[in-house]
Amino acid sequence: MSAALMAFAKWLQGTGWATWISGSTWAYPFVQLTHFFGLSLWIGTNLALDFRLLGLGRKRLTGADLSRNLFAWNWAGFAIAVCGGFMLFSASATKYVINPAFLIKVGILVPCALIVHIIVQQNAKIWGATADTLRIGKYMGLVEIILWIGVVTAAVSIPTFEIFGS
């Protein structure tokens, strides 16, 4: 563990708004709800496109059309999730920076999933231009789904490492 990272975590956790979030009976649950709402919106729109690229669901729209229609909702969900997640992180930063599940989630899985998501979103207009998605589009949609399953698995494992000690 980097001393600079731990120093930053201690500073962040000591800020007024972080102590307010962790010390309030209603602020932490509200921020958590906000984070989960953003995640639901973001991951939901990701999965909708990925499933469409895989050929699942109704085919009223091509993958390209669906990607275009969900673009703003997708990134709004991302922004809400990141803001909420950062506020949750700030409330217990010193615990999170030593938690293996959190480090795997934020340090490996989220960056990989985000990169794949951007690739899928940029290329959906080509891969999903017709009712029959190109094979690479199907493959990348599946890869993105698998990465998001990994992110969620790491996220729900975070409390386990807090209980048993990191």
Q: How far apart are CA 151 and CA 105, in angstroms?
A: 5
**Percent residues over pLDDT 70 in the chain:** 97
Q: Is the pLDDT of residue 52 over 90?
A: yes
Q: What is the pTM of this model?
A: 0.88
> What is the structure's pLDDT at 165?
57
| Whether residue 68 has pLDDT greater than 60 | yes
Average pLDDT, the chain: 91
5 close to 94: Cβ distance less than 8 angstroms: no
Could you tell me the CA-to-CA distances from 136 to 22, 65, 74, 147 in Å, in that order? 45, 18, 22, 16
| Residue 109 pLDDT class (50, 70, 90 cuts) | confident
> In 3D, which of 121, 164, 162 has the Cα closest to residue 140?
121
Question: CB of 129 within 8 A of CB of 64?
Answer: yes
